[in-house]
Amino acid sequence: MAMTAELVEREVEYEADGRHMVGYLAAGPAPSGGARPAVLVAHGGAGERRQPKARARRLAELGYVAFALDYHGDGRQLTHEETRARLPELGADVDRIRALGQAGLDVLLAADGVDPTRVAAIGYCFGGTVVLELARGGADLAAVVGFHAILSTPRPEDARNITGRVLACIGTEDPFVPPEQRAAFEAEMRAAGVDWRLHLYGGAPHAFTDPNASDHGLAGVAYDQMADERSWRDMLDLFAEALGPTALGPTPRTA
């Protein structure tokens, strides 16, 4: 366990999908006699941990309880070969994806000081798919945010189970989320009567929030600082609406 001024951080081991999972919990100062809003964070497809831990820590510093889940196992990053095998396997089974997300959500809800009525979930790349499917499965989430997430689903009718607000943050030049996929997502949300928004960031590629995205060596995959900062502010705006203030007061719109 590590502790800074008023920030507590620790790893949490749990079981899901027949695997040993290692997540990361970060919590800021607890309000006197009250509970805090909470955020579930889902990592990208390769399982890289630096980014989700950093995002969870930033959220904790703003007054949230944040838990960065693990959906691959052992809290480790996969090789390119492992990633190429693992993601199609998971992507073919939405019930399995939802169960992985729910396992992480259960850990978050069990953390001290969490207000179960003010919980959000955010995810990056395939992690965005995880939290969107978690919402489609009916998880009690006040807000869901997918950053450069694949928006398609084999069961779009399940969007009627979504209980909270939805935000999808997508780069216009993302080769994995083309315009026709965005249009299908719009139709899905509209048909289900969801309170949703789709924010497009002009010129931004896939994985625009990840400073190490170019390490993958893939066309159309790169970091975009402006889109990263803007999408973070857009997320905080949604949290202000859906979760209300933290113990530290209204959430500042900082990147």
Digit-coded pLDDT (tens) for 107-157: 999 999 999 999 999 999 999 999 999 999 999 999 999 999 999 999 999
Residue 80: which pLDDT band, with cuts at 50, 70 and 90? confident
Average confidence (pLDDT) over 161-174: 98
Q: For the chain, what are the domain ranges?
A: 2-242
Q: pLDDT at residue 2 above 80?
A: no
Q: Which of 8-17, 72-81, 173-182, 239-248 has the lowest mean pLDDT?
A: 239-248
Contacts for 142 with CB less than 8 Å, ≥ 6 apart: 117, 118, 119, 120, 163, 164, 165, 242, 243
- pLDDT, position 28: 82
Which is higher by pLDDT, 248 or 203? 203
- pLDDT, position 6: 78
Digit-coded pLDDT (tens) for 23-40: 999 998 666 657 899 999
The second-level CATH assignment, the architecture, of 2-242 is: 3-Layer(aba) Sandwich (3.40)
Rounded-to-integer distance, Cα 30 and Cα 69, Å:
21
Q: pLDDT at residue 197 above 60?
A: yes
Residue 215: which pLDDT band, with cuts at 50, 70 and 90? confident
Q: Confirm whether pTM is higher than 0.85.
A: yes
CA dihedral sign, ordered 73, 74, 75, 80: negative
- pLDDT, position 3: 41
Q: Which of 6-10, 64-68, 166-170 has the lowest mean pLDDT?
A: 6-10
- pLDDT, position 49: 87
* Portion of the chain with pLDDT greater than 90, in percent: 85
Q: pLDDT at residue 252 above 60?
A: no
- pLDDT, position 47: 87
Residue 1: which pLDDT band, with cuts at 50, 70 and 90? very low
Q: pLDDT at residue 202 above 70?
A: yes
Rounded-to-integer distance, Cα 99 and Cα 166, Å:
20
Q: pLDDT at residue 247 above 90?
A: no
